[in-house]
Structures are given as C-alpha cells and as structure tokens.
Amino acid sequence: MIFQCRISDFLRALGMGARRGGPGGGRSAGVLKERANMSFMLVVMFFAVFGLIVLTEIFLIDDRHGSNVGGTGALGGHRNGHRNGHRLIAAPDRPDYEEVGAEDYTGVKGGFDDHVGLLVKDTAEGGKPVASLADPRGLPSLPTNVESRLPHLNQSLRLTHADWLNVTNTRFKFFVYSAYYDNRANGGEGPGLIRVIGATKTRGPEQVWCRLWYNLHATGNATASITVSAKVKTIRENWNLKYSATFVICPLPKTPPETAEGPVPNAVPNSVSVVSRLKAPPAHRILIQNRPSDRPNKKEPLAVCVKPLHFEFNRVMQLIEFVELHLLLGATHVTLYNDTLGQEAGCVIRDYESRSAPGSDYPLVTLLPWHHLDMISQLEIRTEGLFAALNDCLYRSMYQFEYVAFLDLDEYIIPRHNDTIPELIRWLGKRVSTKSTGSYSFQNAFFYLQWGDDPSVKQSQTAEEAALITLRKTRRKTKLHPHKQRSKYICKPEHIVEAGNHFVWEFAPGHGTLNVPAEAAILHHYRVCEFGGDDCVKTQSIVDKTAYRYGQDLARNVRTRYAELKEKCSLPDLEPVPAAPATLTESKPQTSPLVQPASR
C-alpha cells in the first residue's frame, strides 16, 4: 500500500515537473497565427520571470540592496519547484547513499551553482577570482565571500542535542531535533554528511540550508562556518499524513573552511543550524553527534529503543518489568522519549537514569524530551512522530551499541533456548552466515490480556511476582504473524540507514534481514484484542511458558526495585497474590479466568 502511494507521488511529481519545466505549449489555439503570437508571449513571459528570479536572487544576499520580501517569496517558489521536482523525478525512493554520489551533485549543483555564480559575479567587487566556478562540483557550499556576509552565530544560543526546535520563516511547520555525522557512504571515503532528524511537510518540503559551525580552537567560542543547501528526505513510513519525520541531509564540502590560522582543528563541524532564509540569523544550534573523535572505543552488546511515551504514561509496573527483564536479556541501556509522562513513572525513570547495568558505561535509562513537536498526533503526523524517534535512537545508539532492539513497552523478544539476546545472536551466527546480516526479524505472537492468568500465578511468592505480565500471561495465539507484519527486529545500527517500525527500510549497501526461525525466538506481545472487543480470545491458542526461564530472577529484581522506589516515588500498593496460600482464607473467590481484568 505504501509503495502504491509512493508511485502516485511520483506520477504527481512528474506532472508537476512537466508543468513547471516547459513554457506552456499553447495547445488550445486554433489559428496558426494566434498560436505563434501566444508562443511568443509565453517566451517573453518566461524570460521576464527568469529575469525576475535572477534579480531577486541578487537582492536576497546582497545587503546593499536590503531585503526584498516579495522577491524572496518568488525565489523560494522557484527553488522549491525546481529542486523538489528534480529530486522526485530523479528518484522518489532513492537511497541516501546514492543521493550524495557525485553524479547527483551535477544535477543539483547545476541549478544551484548557476545562481551562486551569478551572485558571485555581481557581488565580488574586489575583483576576487572566482576560481571554483570552473568546476561546479568543486563548489558544494557557498563561496567564502558570500558566507562572510551571512549572519554570524549568536554565541549565547544554547547548544542542544535532543530538542524539537523551530526552523523559522517557513510557510509550513518545520522542526528539527538532533544531528548526526554519517560517513558510511563509499566505505568511509569522502567528506560524509550531516543527517538532521526533523519533521515537516510530507510532500514538497521547503528548501532549507544548513549552516555548519566549526570550532576554531579546542576551547572558546570562535567558529568558522560553511553553508550548504540541504536535501529534505521524507522518512518512508508517513501513512500519507500531511507531516512526516524527515532527514535533513547536509552534504559536507570536500574541504573544511580555511582560516587565517590555517585549517580548522576538526574537519567535521561541531554544530549545525537549519535555516530557511540565508539572511535570517540562526535561531538554534544543534550539536553534531557521532563525530569520529567522539565515538567510544568499544561497544556494549545491546540497547533498546522505545517510541515516545504519551497519554500521561504512568504504568509503573509495566515500566519496571520492561527494564528489569531487558537487563536479564542482555541489554544495558533503554532510550525513552518523554512526550507526556505521569508523576510516578517520571520518578521511576529518573531513578533508573542514575543507575547503570553492571559494567556498563551508560545509564540504564535515558529519557529524552519529546515535547514542542507541534503537530497533532495521528491527524497530522503518525503517532507522536514515532519514526523520527526510531531513527533518532538508531543514530544515537550507533557507535555505542552493537545491537539495538526497537520495541514497545508491551513487547519482549524472548529466546527459546538461550538466556540472552546476544547469546542467541552469537548462536545464530554459528548456524548460518550472518556476515551480511543488518537486522534480525522476530515473528509476532499475541498474548491477549483477555485470556486468563496462568494457574501458577497463585503460587507466586510475592505480590510483585504475581503482577508480572510475562508470568501471568502464558496463553498465546497459536498462529504467528508472518515476518514484516507486526514483527519487530534487532539491528546492527551501523548497517542501517533508515529504520521502520516493523522492518528496516534502508540498509547500508550489502546488508539485509535475517528472518529468525520461530523455534529460536519470537516476539511476545502482551495486549488486548487488536481489533477491539473480546472476540480474539476465540482464536486457537497454546500455552507458552518460555518467559518462565527468567521468572525467579525477574521477580526478585522487580521486588527489590519496587521496594526501593515505593516511598520515594509514592508507588501504589500492589494487589495481593490471587487466592494466595491456604492461610489467606479471607481472599475473595476466584473470578472465571475469561473475565479477568485486562490489565492493572
């Protein structure tokens, strides 16, 4: 279905391109002379418009003439049409790596450099030679004499790494969140690119620029800058909504800026501002992560990424079970995003942020802010910009963790024979060649909450043990979903370019998915009937107690944690163990298993 949508976009783009590209056609004219007149008129109009564009382009940068609002608008319109038309016609779904290939520069640069060339000729009064114009490909950024006229960086701007920020002066909503250096193309050769995670209009996003800031010294505020034209690439899973998660891609120039004191100390910029108008002073400054100088020497085995928490999320027990069980499964880190969060859950997360798994260099949990994404969930953008979060987490984890799992709080990938996920992956590597494996896919199994609790819950030693969903719910749908449908995956982030919810959209060249056989591991998904109602409990089911492998350790760890946090975070009392040991005769009679409450 998604592919169909893309094709229709593509056709639409083609139509748009054709309309914009040609000077009309005068098909409607009947008389030959009338037709000739009309053609002549159209040609004149075309040149008039073109002249106007050139003029406004000059006014835009040249401050001698002041800014020209109308002109800027016309320019913006032209640019948008031209660039997006080009991008979409060339390849609606073209991978990033090709997008930054040399042949693509020719296409994009053609239009871009023509403008820059005109600018430079007109504004270089000092008679400066414009050497780089000879080869447009050697000019992937604004020339220095233009750059030096652009607004400088306001040193008091906060340096952010995870905050939704406005790109100002855009006609449609345009937000940016985080920025990552990515030099994986061409086997690490070449200057690489800066990948900004953002959100904006799904179709025809506006033209923006990346102002790249290079620190001049190891300390202090002095910066040199380079400005490049950005490519806005819509993240594929957009559900046809008005806005979607995007990558704003800033191709780095081949050479970093030269200053009077020589080249900048680090060829990769420190921070970036995304602007829609070159003359507008940058309103934010985003830290560029994953620079080679910042990458740790060794990776920890496994991290988990969870989509933004919303609806005042406050299911404390679910949260604790999720973190504690993933620790047992071999993860050392969980990334969460705070859209809206209840008081108690927030308190529990803060506590986890101050702890680390044994031997880990990272906090057990990181909570990143997710508010100020001023888009209406489901109506304007899919589930709180879920795909921006997934891809932010992918890049954030890339050089810190060998493997990353993308899961919701009601999902667990449970190995059938191995204790931990890294052990399972190692074992798979002995069975089949996993050299080119970028992701491991696990089939979904629903453990519907409407099915009754496992009888052994009554033998629970503690209320915490009895509350654990992975021990209470052991009945699951016999039939698993096929891979890619509701499946989840664990990936090697370095081999992934674009992460989706149920599968990887784009791998680094030469990598793919391994469908993990259900005998080795499946995805346990604890939820109510997916189509509403209670009819799903009539489907064929079996009892699956694989998760009991962790039962004892999990119950002990959750009990310890709950006891520690109970007072600090004002956690509620847990329900007692149902129909507990014979001594507790006053407990109320058992309800029929099929009408157990869906969740606590």
Pairwise CA distance, residues 335 & 342, whole Å: 17
Binding of residue 367 to ligand NAG (CB under 6 A): yes
Pairwise CA distance, residues 248 & 497, whole Å: 13
Among positions 401-420, residues that touch ligand NAG (CB under 6 A) are 417-418
Q: How far is the CB of 433 from ligand NAG (least distance, A)?
A: 17
Q: Are 573 and 510 in contact (CB under 8 A)?
A: no
On the 0-12 / 13-18 / 19+ scale of CB atoms within 10 A, 515 is middle
Binding of residue 570 to ligand NAG (CB under 6 A): no
* End-to-end Cα, the chain, rounded Å: 36
Q: Which two tokens stand for residue 194?
A: 């800066």
Binding of residue 167 to ligand NAG (CB under 6 A): no
Residue 596's SS3 state is coil
**For ligand NAG, the closer CB: 295 or 426:** 426
Task: Using alpha carbons only, give the angle 239, 241, 246 rounded to the nearest 5 degrees.
Answer: 80
Q: For tokens 């038309």, what's the residue?
A: 85
Among positions 418-447, residues that touch ligand NAG (CB under 6 A) are 418, 423, 427
**For ligand NAG, the closer CB: 153 or 393:** 153
Pairwise CA distance, residues 20 & 27, whole Å: 16
Binding residue for ligand NAG, selected from 154, 478, 560, 590, defined by CB under 6 A: 154
**For ligand NAG, the closer CB: 95 or 330:** 330
Binding residue for ligand NAG, selected from 106, 148, 186, 221, defined by CB under 6 A: 221
Binding of residue 172 to ligand NAG (CB under 6 A): no
Binding of residue 171 to ligand NAG (CB under 6 A): no
Binding of residue 354 to ligand NAG (CB under 6 A): no
Number of residues located near ligand NAG, criterion CB under 6 A: 22
Residue 67 makes CB contacts below 8 A (sequence gap 6+) with 59, 60, 279
Binding residue for ligand NAG, selected from 92, 192, 257, 346, defined by CB under 6 A: 346
Q: Which two tokens stand for residue 302?
A: 């496994």
**For ligand NAG, the closer CB: 332 or 460:** 332
Binding of residue 220 to ligand NAG (CB under 6 A): yes
Among positions 279-308, residues that touch ligand NAG (CB under 6 A) are 281
Q: Which two tokens stand for residue 395?
A: 């890049």
Binding residue for ligand NAG, selected from 350, 549, 556, 566, defined by CB under 6 A: 350
Binding residue for ligand NAG, selected from 371, 481, 556, 566, defined by CB under 6 A: 371
Q: Are 143 and 126 in contact (CB under 8 A)?
A: no
Q: For tokens 């290939």, what's the residue?
A: 101
DSSP 504: E
Phi, psi dihedrals of residue 557, rounded to the nearest 5°: -65, -40
Q: Are 233 and 98 in contact (CB under 8 A)?
A: no
Cα-trace Rg, the chain: 28
Binding residue for ligand NAG, selected from 8, 106, 148, 155, defined by CB under 6 A: 155
Binding of residue 349 to ligand NAG (CB under 6 A): yes
Binding of residue 341 to ligand NAG (CB under 6 A): yes
Binding residue for ligand NAG, selected from 171, 295, 355, 372, defined by CB under 6 A: 372
Q: How far is the CB of 165 from ligand NAG (least distance, A)?
A: 7
Binding of residue 351 to ligand NAG (CB under 6 A): no
Binding residue for ligand NAG, selected from 28, 156, 293, 592, defined by CB under 6 A: 156
Q: How far is the CB of 414 from ligand NAG (least distance, A)?
A: 13
**For ligand NAG, the closer CB: 154 or 539:** 154
Pairwise CA distance, residues 76 & 494, whole Å: 36
Of 154-162, 252-260, 432-440, 452-460, which part binds ligand NAG (CB under 6 A)? 154-162
Closest by Cα among 101, 107, 113 to 89: 107
Of 24-32, 206-214, 337-345, 356-364, which part binds ligand NAG (CB under 6 A)? 337-345
Pairwise CA distance, residues 587 & 579, whole Å: 6
Closest by Cα among 393, 159, 395 to 270: 159
Write the CA distances from 336 to 82, 121, 197, 199, 373, integer angstroms.
39, 51, 16, 19, 16
**For ligand NAG, the closer CB: 408 or 423:** 423
Q: How far is the CB of 111 from ligand NAG (least distance, A)?
A: 28
Contact positions toward ligand NAG, by CB under 6 A?
154-157, 166, 220-221, 281, 338, 340-341, 346, 349-350, 367, 371-372, 374, 417-418, 423, 427
